[in-house]
Every structure is written in C-alpha cells, then in structure tokens.
Structure 1
Amino acid sequence: MADTPVIPAVAIPARSAKLSKVATIRIVTVLILGIGYEMVARSGILFEGVVPSSVIVLQRLVTTLLDSSFYPHLAVTATEVICGLLVGASLGIATGVAFGLSWPLARLLSPWVNYLAPTPKIVFLPILLLGFGVGMGSKIAMASISAFFPVAMATYRGVQQINGVHIRVAFSFNATRMQLLTKVFLPSLVAPVVTALRLALGVAFVGTLLAEIKLSNQGLGYLIIQHYNAMRIPDMYAILIITFAIVMAANAAMDGLVAAIMRRMSGAK
C-alpha cells in the first residue's frame, strides 16, 4: 500500500503570532474604553454637554467628513506640518553635522541646544507671530522649531558615535571635508536621523495645532477652538478623533519608512 503523503504543518512565525496578540489586546482595549465611555455618557453622572454619547459624536464625525468645507482646513494643517518638518529637520541635520565637524562650534553652541530642547516651544509663539504674522508662516515656523531640536540632538549624538577608525582611515586617504561628510558621516547617520524624524513629526504636529488654537483663522486647531468656544462639544470631539487618526497613520507610515531603511541597510551590509 502506497504511503500516504504527510502534509507538513505550517508553523506560524513567532513574530506574526506576537503581533496578532498585540493587535487583539489593542482592539479589546479600545472596545472596553468605548463601552466605558458610553456607559458614563448615558448614566447622567457627568454633564451631557461635556460627555456626549458616542453615537452623537460618530454622527458629527460623519457629518464633518462629508462637509467639503472641512478639507481646506485639513490641507492647511497638513501643509504647515510637512513644511515645518522639512525645514526643521533640514536645519537640525545641518546643525548636528556642523557640531560634529567643528569641535569648537559644538563646545560653544551644543549646550544651548541641549538646554532649549526641553523648553515648551509655545513660548516662542508671540515672537513668531510678530515676525511671520498670524497666517501659515508662524505655524510653519512653530513646527520647524519643534522639529529642529530632536533631529539636531540625534544627529549630533550619531556623529559622536561614529567609529573613529573610519574617520582616521578617511584622513589617511587625504579625504576632504566634503568627502568625509558624504562617505563617512551621512551613511552612519541614516539610522539615528530617521528614527528622530518620527519624534519630530509628532512634536511638529503638536506645535502646529497649538499655534492654530492660540491665533489662527484656518486649520484643524482653529476648528477645534471654534467648536469649543461655541460649546459644540460633539463636533470638537469629531475633529479630535480625525486628528488622532491622522497622527496614528503618519506614525505608522514613519514606522514603515524606518523599517524599510533598516532592512535596506542590513541587506547592504
């Protein structure tokens, strides 16, 4: 009798199983929080105007997404965040590399960068409003300042961690500063800089929204504060949910970018 072929069991990778478990926990957590919120909203313990039913919030969410006047505000905020991130990250990379190439410059200015990094960037808003006005310029500047510090610090620390042997080898071949920058520094800085960009994106978004809430006539922050002032709390929650979703999607995209770059670097090695 012919042997019956044995079909090998398909082993589920440990990483996939772990990710599936994490996703399940996250979904369950969201469901529990949603049910708890709805129970509190319907109990009457808290003022209905402050804690409206999630059904009403979802209705306002759908209404907002179907309202064509919402998307120009979304486009304004997205433009401010992206432009601010590009400007701030570019200046941060240039500053970190300059500190790495010039020890006297690093000794003179890097302490100021370290001291100002944890400072709430909203304190710069009055100065930015004076310099750039109440339009998009001040919001882009706020996002740029917010993004600058994490990228500058990560770049400088990445420069400090470059293997000294690589630098000495480059000098032994009479490499110029530009060759040292392009052949040694920049390839070594890809990982720390790309990782820092994720944090820079988050703080740029926060800085932009704060600036729009304080003084603006367009953008998601402007819509949030307008709904708050008019006590349209369900509409305000709807904008906040959309904002959270956008930030989560941007973070997921940044995670994908970091993973792709890391895989490419590992393959190159």
Structure 2
Amino acid sequence: MPKTALSRLSVWRIRSLQLTTLIAFLAGWELLAHSGLLYEGVIPSTGKIVLALWDEINSPTFYGHLGVTLLEISVGFIIATFAGVVCGVALGSRCVVAQVADPYLSSLATAPKIIFLPIVMLMFGIGPESKMAIGALSGFFPIALSTMAGTLTVRPVLVNVGRAFNLSPRQMLTKIYMPSLVGPIIRGMRLGLGVTVIGVLLGEIKLANIGLGFLAIEYYNNFLIEQMYAILIVIFLLAILFNRAMTAISNRYDRN
C-alpha cells in the first residue's frame, strides 16, 4: 500500500478514535446527568447547556465580556513575549549571568502567579490592566527560560565569527542569535500563551466586574449552572483556537 494511502488511513483512524471518545464522553455525561447520583442541577444535560450557550451567543452583553478577556490575553501575551525574549537573550548571551539567574527564574516560574495578584491589583487596580499584568507575569517565565536555554546553545563558532567581525550588539542579535532562536522562542511562546490565559482568567475570577472569568464565577454564585458551563465551553473553545494557532506557527517556523 502506498505511503499516502497509509497516511490517510492513519489519519482516518485517529479522527475515528477522537470522534468515538467525544461520543463516549457525551454519553457518560448524559448518564450522569440523569442518574440522580449528584445534587440536582450540578451536572445539567447537554441539551440545557447547548441552549444556555445559544442564549449567551445571542446576548449583546456576552461579547463585551469576550472582548475584554481577549484584549487582556492579547496585551498580556505581547508584553510577556517581548520581555521574555529580551530577558532570555540578555541572560543567555553571558553564560555566568545565566547560571546566576537560572535558579531565580526557575523558582519563580514554578510559583503560582496568583500569589502576586494582590500586589498587581495594588499597582494597577481591579480593572483590565491588572489582568493584563498578571497574564504578562504568568507568560513571561516560560518564554524567558526557553529563550535563555536556546541562547546558551547557539554555536560558539557563530558567536566568535560575529565578534571577529566586530558586529554591534544589534547586529549580533539580528544576524547571530535570532536566526538560531526561532524554535526556542516559539516553543516558549506556546507554553507562555497557555499560562497567560490561565493568569488572566484567574484574575477575572478573583476580582473583576467584566470578562469571561467574572461571568463564569457570577453564574456560579447565582447557581446558574447551565450558563456557567456555557461560559466554560467558550473558554475551552478559545483555548483550542489559541493552541491551533500556535501549532500552525510552530509547524511553519520551528524546524527543530
């Protein structure tokens, strides 16, 4: 059998398994919703959730919350990417500096960023700016660490050639380092985007008056469970969209 035919067969099997998994999950959800094992309303039927989702999509106020969340994620991610790349290159281009900074960056990267939320809110208030800041803080560390690690692995011969030709710092960055850092930066961005989304949504859930996170917790507080699940589905679909976008970028530019 030709390789293309085998490849198509493999893709078909994967898609079939994915569809089967989804159907099994929905069937299990429906069984649990009608089983009476949980408190009434905790697990609504899929039909009620779909209706709630349809109502949200047709609600003008929903798009205001969606727009604010997307703005917070976008600004936070842009700041995290710029700061992470600059910091990663600056630290990674000096081996001793990287060794000194690595324990601090690694420790802060693993710390839950929600602990910084009170400080961020003192600095920026409870508006969207604080959610952008906590999102940027969350996304900064994986991008900086990945960029720093990539900078440390740039071939020394290339660096020596650049120095031998007396390249300026800007020329060293654009002609020596950046061509070798495309893969590490993209991989860091992929991780950074995920934690940026988490940081923004946690900020909205904790203290906000607008955004998808606020909307979800508001529905929860009022025991509007179908509406809460509808918002969670929207967030899940956004996460899939972001992941697909980063996958497309990675497949196009990351050759490692």
- TM-score range (shorter-chain normalised) is over 0.9
The superposition leaves residues 12-66 of structure 1 with CA deviations (integer Å, 9 ceiling, x where unpaired) of 3544433332222111101101001101111212122111111111110111111
Find the aligned partners of 1:74 and 1:88 in 2 and give their Cα distance.
Answer: 21
Q: What does the per-residue CA deviation read over 1:205-249, in whole Å, with 9 as the maximum and x for residues that have no partner? A: 010000000000000000000000000011000000111011101
Identity %: 37
Deviation of 1:10 (Å): 7.2
8 A contact 2:95–2:152 mirrored in 1:
no
Query: SS of 2:154's equivalent?
Result: coil
The Cα shift of 1:11 comes to 5.8
Quick check: 1:90 aligned with 2:88? Answer: no
CA gap of 1:13–1:181, structure 2 versus 1, over 3 A, is: farther
After superposition, residues 205-244 of structure 1 pair within 5 angstroms as 205-244=197-236
Taking the aligned partners of 2:222 and 2:241, their CA distance within structure 1 comes to 29
Alignment partners' CA distance in 2, 1:18 and 1:120: 40
Alpha carbons 2:84, 2:140 under 8 Å: kept: yes
Q: Considering only CA atoms, is the larger Rg found in Structure 1 or Structure 2? A: 1
Match of 1:167 among 150, 159, 173: 159
Residue 73 (1) aligns with residue 89 (2): no
> Any conservation in 1 of the 2:49–2:230 contact (CA below 8 Å)?
yes
SS in 2 for 1:43: coil
1:151 — aligned with what? 143
CA RMSD of aligned residues (A): 1.6
Is the CA contact (8 Å cut-off) linking 2:80 and 2:140 kept in structure 1?
Answer: yes
- Which residue type is aligned with residue 128 of structure 2? M
Shift of 1:178: 2.0
Seen in structure 2, the aligned counterparts of structure 1 residues 101 and 230 have a Cα distance that, compared at 3 Å, is: same
Is 1:45–2:40 an aligned residue pair? no
Q: Distance in 2 between matches of 1:205 and 1:72?
A: 17
Structure 1 position 24 matched with structure 2 position 16: yes
SS at match of 2:60: coil
CA distance in structure 2 between the partners assigned to 1:92 and 1:237 by the alignment: 34
Instruction: Tell me which stretches of 4 or more aligned residues in structure 1 moved more than 6 Å.
Output: none
